[in-house]
């Protein structure tokens, strides 16, 4: 382990939000050109990750004490949407890897120093499946297990792993925690990630064989829920009082907005010249196709406005030092959970009206369509997990789903 560097005490010279967003827009054609290589390689190319680092994208939510910008979450999501318009796999791993500096900022400062002490651009992957075996030990825990779906893991030097800690004694509740491990404590299995969509996310398996994890390198789920995270003692900006789950669920739904915009652009290009060989009718005169595109454009706009308004409201509560009402938190997570499925359906309606022009693998419609359908599989993108809590909290009952 390298020697730990002290955190920065002075403000970091950061680009403006507008600078970052323009840099992301400028990458769209580059990412489109690399998309096929990304899919074929089952991972985002190294040069893309390097360019995102150089652009400062991964520092948007990183604490200033460690070279970050501590920006409004809406900046983060704007960057993500533009990257995903070029390539949803790239937008997806940016959302996941880019939100981890926020969660790491909630850990004990000793953990933050270990990750960023010698490299402020160090990336951390994750898989929060609670499948690990945890053994209590003096000063921490021994962790073992096999986790799937660690997006972008090949580009990272650390990993965040979800596991349930068994009760210390009979009658005590179990406890959900995230464990932070360095690269030497786990192996990456790249043989499993063969999927029909989001192929380029490199969401490989993580294997751990009884690694010791000190207590300070764990993050309690209840602290993320209540806003009682140890990292808030050193990262005191209002940003870090935001409930961790609110950020994460949007990190795995927002890339779909960029992908849907790419699909709309592809549909418009096809309909300019396509004429049905069966009916002789030009696609540009197809009212059902026009309806499908108009509906997609209108609903993406609504989703973007909802996303922005949600985090403006969340940050307003944080800046005032007020607790976000539980019925608002449950609604925000429900809204996020509906995004990918809605967009997949909207793009599907366009594909259905474009015949063989949208069928062949060289069609610009195909990859966004496949990616959107693959993105539905994430547990955070299932509205069925969230609808009950929306209604229950409106009626004054506590939520059943703890990740809010």
Q: Are 103 and 95 in contact (CB under 8 A)?
A: no
Number of CB atoms found within 10 A of residue 101's CB: 27
Q: Are 289 and 272 in contact (CB under 8 A)?
A: no
* Confidence check: pLDDT of 3 > 50: no
Lowest mean pLDDT among 110-119, 171-180, 241-250: 171-180
Share of the chain above pLDDT 70, in %: 97
- The end-to-end CA distance of the chain, in Å, is 34
Q: What is the pLDDT of residues 362-399, one digit of tens each?
A: 899 999 999 999 999 999 999 999 999 999 999 999 99
17-122 and 124-219: identical CATH topology: no
pTM for the complete prediction? 0.95
Q: What pLDDT is stored for residue 274 in this prediction?
A: 83
Q: What is the pLDDT of residues 129-152, one digit of tens each?
A: 999 999 999 999 999 999 999 999
**What CATH fold (topology level) applies to the domain 17-122?**
Butyryl-Coa Dehydrogenase, subunit A; domain 1 (1.10.540)
In CATH terms, the superfamily for domain 124-219 is: Butyryl-CoA Dehydrogenase, subunit A, domain 2 (2.40.110.10)
* Confidence check: pLDDT of 322 > 70: yes
CA-based radius of gyration for the chain: 22
Cα–Cα–Cα angle for 303, 306, 312, rounded to 5 degrees: 145
- For the chain, the structural domain boundaries read 17-122, 124-219, 244-394
Lowest mean pLDDT among 20-29, 65-74, 160-169: 160-169
Cα 8 from Cα 86, distance rounded (Å): 34
Q: Are 20 and 57 in contact (CB under 8 A)?
A: yes
Q: What is the pLDDT of residues 72-120, one digit of tens each?
A: 999 999 999 999 999 999 999 999 999 999 999 999 999 999 999 999 9
Q: What is the dihedral of CA 19, 24, 29, 31, to 10 degrees?
A: 150
DSSP annotation of 275 reads B
The CATH number of domain 244-394, selected from 3.30.1330.20, 1.20.140.10, 3.40.630.10, 1.10.3720.10: 1.20.140.10
**pLDDT band at residue 23 using 50, 70 and 90 as cut-offs:** very high
* Confidence check: pLDDT of 11 > 60: no
Lowest mean pLDDT among 3-12, 81-90, 92-101, 350-359: 3-12
Quick check: helix, strand or coil at residue 212? strand
Q: What is the pLDDT of residues 297-319, one digit of tens each?
A: 999 999 999 999 999 999 999 99
- Average pLDDT of the chain is 95
Mean pLDDT of all residues in 193-219? 98
**pLDDT band at residue 7 using 50, 70 and 90 as cut-offs:** low
Lowest mean pLDDT among 26-40, 268-282, 325-339: 268-282
Quick check: helix, strand or coil at residue 160? strand
Q: Which of 253, 372, 351 is nearest to 293 (CA)?
A: 351
* Confidence check: pLDDT of 285 > 90: no
Q: What pLDDT is stored for residue 63 in this prediction?
A: 98
**pLDDT band at residue 234 using 50, 70 and 90 as cut-offs:** very high
């Amino acid at each position: 382990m390298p020697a730990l560097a002290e955190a920065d005490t002075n403000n970091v010279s950061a680009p403006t939000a507008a600078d970052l967003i323009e840099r992301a827009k400028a990458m769209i054609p580059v990412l489109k050109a690399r998309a096929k290589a990304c899919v074929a390689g089952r991972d985002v190319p190294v040069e893309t990750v390097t360019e995102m680092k150089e652009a400062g994208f991964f520092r948007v939510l990183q604490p200033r004490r460690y070279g970050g910008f501590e920006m409004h979450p809406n900046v983060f999501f704007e960057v993500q949407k533009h990257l995903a318009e070029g390539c949803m796999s790239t937008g997806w791993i940016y959302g996941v890897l880019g939100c981890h500096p926020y969660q790491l900022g909630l850990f004990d400062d000793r953990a933050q120093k270990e990750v960023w002490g010698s490299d402020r651009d160090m990336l951390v992957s994750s898989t929060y499946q609670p499948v690990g075996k945890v053994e209590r030990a003096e000063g921490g825990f021994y962790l073992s297990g096999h986790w799937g779906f660690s997006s972008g893991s090949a580009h990272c030097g650390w990993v965040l792993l979800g596991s349930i800690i068994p009760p210390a004694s009979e009658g005590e509740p179990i406890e959900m925690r995230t464990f932070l491990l360095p690269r030497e404590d786990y192996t990456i299995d790249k043989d499993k990630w063969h999927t029909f969509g989001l192929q380029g996310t490199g969401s490989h398996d993580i294997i751990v064989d009884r690694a010791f994890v000190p207590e300070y390198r764990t993050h309690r789920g209840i602290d993320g829920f209540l806003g009682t995270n140890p990292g808030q003692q050193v990262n005191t900006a209002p940003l870090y009082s935001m409930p961790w789950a609110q950020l994460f669920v949007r990190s795995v739904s927002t890339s779909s907005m960029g992908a849907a915009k790419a699909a709309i652009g592809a549909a418009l290009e096809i309909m300019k010249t396509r004429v049905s060989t069966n009916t002789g009718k030009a696609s540009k005169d197809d009212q059902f196709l026009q309806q499908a595109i108009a509906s997609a454009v209108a609903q993406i706009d609504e989703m973007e406005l909802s996303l922005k308004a949600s985090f403006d409201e969340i940050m307003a509560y944080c800046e005032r030092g007020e607790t976000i009402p539980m019925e608002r938190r449950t609604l925000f997570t429900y809204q996020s959970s509906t995004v990918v499925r809605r967009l997949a359906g909207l793009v599907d309606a366009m594909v259905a009206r474009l015949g063989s022009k949208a069928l062949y693998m060289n069609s610009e419609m195909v990859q966004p369509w496949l990616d959107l359908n693959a993105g539905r599989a994430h547990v955070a993108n299932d509205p069925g997990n969230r609808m009950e809590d929306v209604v229950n909290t409106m009626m004054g009952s506590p939520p059943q789903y703890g990740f809010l």
